[in-house]
Chains A and B, each alone.
Chain A
Amino acid sequence: MNEHGRVLSVPDTLSQTPRSDASSTRLRRIIDERYDFVWRAVRFLGVPEANAEDAAQLVFCVVARKLRDIAPEAESSFLFATASRVASEARRSARRGLATSDRNVDEIEAPLPTVDDLLDQRRARQTLDEVLGAMPIDLRSVFVLFEIEELTVPEIATAVGVRVGTAASRLRRAREEFRAILKRRNAAQCYAGRGGRP
């Protein structure tokens, strides 16, 4: 991506350090292009929305530190791998601490909201979080990368660090699992008579 003309011009003080100059430009490009991807990734991986920005920022701080070690073609996988580690640490901390944001397994089988309810973006997003939260993290990762981030299976394999065959198999199981959770929750909805369909 051409950085010329970008508002964030390189400060004069950097002109004496070409490597730093290039690093800054690259860092800006990565953040500019991939911020939302990382922000969503940490959320999908269990970081509550209120903390997603901080987690994403941590990811990019790691990127900044390791910039010279990241091959250009490996940026996506590095970003996702780092997001996974940051999110994993956040989940561990949440379990250690008082927070229970990702421990809503008991609530997962609660009735699914109706289609009308899900037209509300907020409600839909919350439900998506719940359903994803009920999926094992390895399945969840490939699922969101495929269904939401629209990566190809080989790209997913690189991003999560597994073979293509493994990624494909996880994706298949992930889709089955996602569907199964929806079915169970939809059945609960019908049972509860909350406007469910026959």
Chain B
Amino acid sequence: MSNPDRHDDPSLDEIERLLLRSGHDCAPDGAKQRALVAASTVVAASTIATGQAVASIGIKAASIVSGKWAVVLCLTSVVAASGAVALHQLRQNRDTHSTSIPESPLAGMAGDSSKPPIPQASATPYPEAVSAPMLSAVPTLSASTHGDPVASALPSRSSSPANPSFSAELSALDRARTAIANGEAGKALAMLDDYSSRFPRGSMGPEASVLRIEALAAMGNHSAAERVARAFLEKNPASPYAQRIKSLLAANP
């Protein structure tokens, strides 16, 4: 700050320097990885949306979609495999030496049924660049300390390895995904059942639901796929997966 008009009060120069320096802070550990997972989900979905006339080809689209959703899970797996341990350590570091950063109120929220209802997208006029499902999460971007619907839409922060079962969850879902990819949808369903019983409050619940819908559709059990899809949408209207699931539902009224 060499601006001449800043020397009227040297203490102000110092204060200004300290304030501006404080502005260079960085996002919390793991935030970038979570954004990557969330955004990858969207890019996978939007590729399909623009590349395929999903609505016109019906539930068969599930087989196409499944590949992309699998990618999401794949990405998640890779992120987790490479980052889970590091993330865990980083988080612990953060918790121990940086008490100034409060723990997110969202931590551990996966499966939390006490979440407030999510406002409707219609309440948020917005440029078309942002999709309704995502937008619907925005209205609660306020100083809420008791939960945030955005959490339900995005990779859960409970995936922080404060939950040591995270990698186990991921590999369980990865096996189910592989089974679907190999045409063994029945086997995948059994694996997903196993997942649900092992991790009743797991942090990958939405991904498991998506796989379940996919497996049911692959088996030709469209009514069950639809039932699970509707239940999912009711519970997670702001999920990044919601739009894809809605497309599938729309294709199979």
Contact = CB atoms under 8 A, between A and B. Distances in A.
Given A89-B126, A89-B141, A183 B12 contact: yes
Interface string B33-48: 0111011111110110
Interface in A58-112: 58, 60-67, 82, 85-86, 89-90, 93-94, 96-101, 112
A134 to B, nearest CB: 13
A51 B18 contact: no
A99 B67 CA distance: 41
B43 A23 contact: yes
Contacts of B14: 115
Given A11-B74, A20-B47, A118-B15, A58 B138 contact: yes
Q: Which of A48, A100, A178, A182 has the most CB of B within 10 A?
A: A182
B38 A61 contact: yes
Contact of B70 (A13, A51, A100, A122): A13
Interface residue tally of chain A, by bracket?
Answer: 35 or more
Contacts of B46: 64-65, 67
B214 to A, nearest CB: 13
A122 B21 CA distance: 11
Interface stretch (B75-83, B183-191, B192-200): B75-83
Given A8-B79, A31-B35, A148-B23, A115 B142 contact: no
Given A54-B154, A148-B23, A35 B40 contact: no
A163 interface: no
Most buried by A among B23, B35, B38: B35
B68 to A, nearest CB: 7
A150 B141 CA distance: 27
Task: Please classify the interface of chain A as helix (H, G, I), strand (E, B), loop, or mixed, using the class held by over half of its residues.
Answer: helix
B182 interface: no
Nearest to B100: A122
B117 interface: no
B28 interface: yes
Given A58-B134, A85-B126, A101-B142, A131 B43 contact: no
Interface of B: 3, 5-6, 9, 11-12, 14-16, 18-28, 31-32, 34-36, 38-44, 46-47, 51, 67-68, 70-71, 74-75, 78-79, 82, 100, 102, 104-106, 124, 126-127, 129-131, 134-135, 137-145, 148, 150-151, 154, 157, 181, 240
14 contacts: A7-B82, A40-B24, A52-B27, A62-B134, A85-B126, A86-B141, A89-B126, A94-B143, A112-B15, A115-B18, A127-B19, A147-B20, A175-B3, A186-B12
Counting from the closest, the 5 A-B pairs by CB-CB distance are A99-B142, A90-B141, A124-B22, A11-B74, A39-B27
